[in-house]
Amino acid sequence: MLILGGGVCGLAAAWRLLEQGCAAEVTILESAEKPGGLARSLTINGHLADLGPHRIFTELPDVQKFLEDLAGPDLVEVRRISRMWLNGRWIEYPPKVFEVIGALGVFKLAGAGASFLAGKTARTLRAAQSDRESFESVMVDAFGRGLYELLVGRYARKVWKVPGTELHADIARVRVSAGGLDRMVRRLLNPNSSGPQTALQKFHYIAGGVEGLVHKLVSGIESRGGKLLLDRHVDRIDSRTDGSSCVTAKHGDSRETYDADAVIATTPLPELVGMIGNAPETVTRAVGGMRYIANFLVGIQITGGRISDAQWLYFPGEDTLFNRGYEPRNFHDSMTPDEDKSLIVLEVTCHRDDANWNLSDEGLTTACIDGLVATGLATRDRCTPGFVHRIPGTYPLYDLEYRERMDAVLGWLREFPRLVVTGRQGLFLHNNMDHSMHMGFRAAESLAEAHPSASHYEEIRRFQQFRIVD
């Protein structure tokens, strides 16, 4: 059994295969020099920072039990604190009514409420939602045109670098599944009101950073006889008539081949289609249209202690280059070596063809320090450049045609009965770590079926509806 990709999805699949005795041999081929994918940590002068502000939370029972058993006593509970820089002042997130009034003003907020009420009747007359609805149309339905323009649309444009009319409604639906402005207003006025949770009040974390989970996963896999091979760059998959595969990978200056009765691939879809080759023109055109948002992480070292008590900081305005920031020591004290020092990591998103992609490390760092100073988070004398880490394809971009592209590609991949495609990159999904682990488990379990890929692909629509809890 071969697994392509050693992120949390691939590692979870390997664990489940070995745990259930579904395969005599399990080998993971990972192209990087460390496993974990985005669930890794960076180190700068003793400071630890995850690749993104990870937290351990799930609504999936199988993953919840697994994480509790895996992390053991290293699992710690954290009270969630988040803030947003809105119109020149800090407000809590989720917001409280008086803070929103202070940031937006009574008249702007009243106008936003009026636009919501004006559109409510029209919204109730819509009996069905079209697959081609946009992010903007669904969010305007949920929050009203006024609040959308003041806040929601601004942040979406900043993160995705395209107008909300060009984003698919699926981005919105997984975030407003628990209700729109009417429920938000009730929550503003009564924080204790009941209803589905859309933002965490508490979450769990693992001491030493999310990479600690990866180390535990790898240790468990290897103790069960699984193999993890790093720096293996798969470039060819030859499928045989019996469903088995021959996989070729580069390792240094040599090439290696692996025979497998089945393959679980977490590889990005455009790369996977290229590895298989001979794809129909419709499939080649579909993967050629898939776009990803790049993500730059800019670490700034801070003297004089922490600059905030929040884990997440959001910046919807154009007055800062970065979209979001996180201070690792606020997740757990083990992330920083000195009480008098801290590290803040700022996230910048871009397309490969826009100006930010070509910014130098120095340019990114300077712009981020300028933003910290402008928001009052730190004075310039407290800031020292730490690191710049570039991730070319972090977020799949759900444009209006993404479902048609996915249908074309997955329809073709179903023809390979012993090739199961899964994970964030393999299924072009913007999801959380727990979702990726669950998909890894389900991919492994599908191999017990006579036609594993068909069984697995029947679940994809459910995977696409996973709810994102901020």
Q: Looking at residue 391, which CATH number applies to its domain?
A: 3.90.660.20
> Does any domain span residue 49?
no
Residue with tokens 């209006």: 400
Q: What is the mean pLDDT of residues 56-65?
A: 90
Residue 150 lies in a domain: yes
Query: What's residue 447's pLDDT?
Result: 87
- Separation of alpha carbons 72 and 206, rounded Å: 9
Q: What is the 3-state secondary structure (H, E, C) of 319-356?
A: CCCCCEEECHHHCCHHHCCCCCEEEEEEEEEECCCCHH
Query: What was the pLDDT predicted at 470?
Result: 65
Same domain, 161 and 235: no
Residues 143-180: tens digit of each pLDDT = 778 778 877 888 999 999 999 999 999 888 776 544 44
CB atoms closer than 10 angstroms to residue 309: 10
| 27 within domain boundaries | yes
- Look at residue 438 and tell me if it is in a domain: yes
Residue 419 and residue 385 share a domain: no
Coil vs helix vs strand at 201:
coil
**What's residue 453's pLDDT?**
76
> 57-66, 98-107, 117-126, 368-377: which range is least confident on average?
117-126
Instruction: Please state, in angstroms and rounded to a whole number, the distance separating the CA atoms of residues 290 and 403.
Output: 10
220 and 72, same structural domain? no
Taking each helix axis from N to C end, the angle separating 8-19 and 211-223, rounded to the nearest 10 degrees, works out to 30
446 and 383 in a single domain? The answer is: no
Q: What is the CATH number of the domain that holds 27?
A: 3.50.50.60
Query: What pLDDT, in 10s, does the model give residues 280-293?
Result: 999 999 999 999 99
Regarding whether 321 and 203 lie in a shared domain, the answer is: yes
Number of domains in the chain: 3
Calpha distance 57→468 (Å, rounded): 11
Residues 387-438: tens digit of each pLDDT: 999 998 888 999 999 999 999 999 999 999 899 999 999 999 988 999 999 9
Kindly state whether residues 326 and 314 are assigned to the same domain.
yes
Percent of the chain with pLDDT over 90: 64
Residue 21 has a pLDDT of: 80
Taking the C-alpha atoms of residue 175 and residue 156, their distance in angstroms, rounded to an integer, is: 12
Q: Residue 230 — left, alpha, or beta (φ > 0 → left; ψ -120 to 50 → alpha)?
A: beta
342 C-beta neighbours (distance < 10 Å), count: 24
> Would the pLDDT of 379 be above 90?
yes
Same domain, 24 and 147: no
With a cut of 60, say whether residue 188 has pLDDT above it.
no
Q: Is residue 335 very low, low, confident or very high in pLDDT (cuts 50, 70, 90)?
A: very high
Q: Residue 114: its pLDDT value, please?
A: 57
14, part of any domain:
yes
Same domain, 251 and 230: yes
- Residues 347 and 204 grouped into a single domain: yes
What would the mean pLDDT of 27-38 be, rounded to a whole number?
Answer: 96
pLDDT of 182 over the 70 cut? no
Neighbours of 128 (CB within 10 A): 5
Tell me, yes or no, whether 126 and 260 share the same domain: no
pLDDT beyond 80 at 22: no
Q: Which is nearest to 398 in space by CA: 422, 380, 424? A: 424
Q: Do 77 and 202 contact (CB within 8 A), yes or no? A: yes
Q: Which helix (H) or strand (E) holds 121?
A: helix 106-124
Mean model confidence pLDDT for the chain: 87
Instruction: For residue 98, name the pLDDT band (cuts at 50, 70, 90).
Output: low
Which range has the worst mean pLDDT, 40-44, 50-54, 55-59, 448-452? 448-452
Q: State mean pLDDT over 297-307.
A: 95
Given 350, 378, 396, which residue is the final one in a domain? Answer: 396
Domain limit, last residue, from 189, 222, 255 = 189
> Is 203 in the same domain as 302?
yes
Query: Is 469 contained in some domain?
Result: no
- Please give the residue range of the domain that contains residue 143: 95-189
Q: Is residue 127 part of a domain?
A: yes
| Residues 353, 275 share a domain | no
Total count of residues recorded for the chain: 470
Query: Is residue 154 one of the residues assigned to a domain?
Result: yes
Do 236 and 277 form a contact (C-beta atoms < 8 A)?
yes
